[in-house]
Amino acid sequence: MNEEELNSLIGKYYNGESTEDEEKTLRAYFSGDTVSEGYECEKEIFSFYMASGDIPEPSPGFEERIVAGFDASNEKRGLKNIRRYIVPILSTAAGILLLTASYFFFVQRGEHPDSFSDPEIAYTETMKILFDVSSQLNRGAQSLQPVSKINKMKVKSFQTINNSAILVEKNLKSLNYLQNAEISDRVPFRKK
């Protein structure tokens, strides 16, 4: 087979325009031992196809099963569309029902008659409640006094530690001065 005819058949094969006879010719050519230079890849492709064998024909009813699968998928999609509309409607209805029920519940309970008709009694009761709240707050403030004592002790402790550190620093300076004086006494004077 010449190279021009081979290129034409390969082009038809890759474009899906080749006939069965042309494909048999290509298989026969590439199953041989000698292949033109530059067509080694096609030889591997056709040898793979020949080694894998023929593709079996689909079983009877194959197309009908595929169509039935598409139909079942469309039915499920239809249920999802229905669900998409029903869920928000039911949620809205439940919210309205909840709001209506809570309105009636709170309106019934919210109307309390005035418990004191005499303003002096109301004033004394208010003063009694405010005095009770004030005493509770004062008791809470008194329980915090030990915390303030702890804070004062912390400040005093830090002052003591700081004073000790200053004293140690002064003593180290005097020791350093003495040590420098000893070193200078040991070194003899040099003559220039």
d(CA 11, CA 18): 9
Name all contacts of 18-25 with Cβ < 8 Å and 24+ positions apart: 25/1
pLDDT lower than 70: segments of the chain: 53-55, 78-81, 108-114, 182-192
The pLDDT tens digits of the residues spanning 44-80 come to: 887 777 777 666 777 888 888 888 887 777 777 766 6
**Cα maximum dimension of the chain:** 124
Q: Where are the domains of the chain?
A: 3-52, 62-107
pTM of the model: 0.30
CA dihedral 173, 179, 185, 186 (to 10 degrees): -160
User: Contact 20/10 with Cβ under 8 angstroms?
Assistant: no
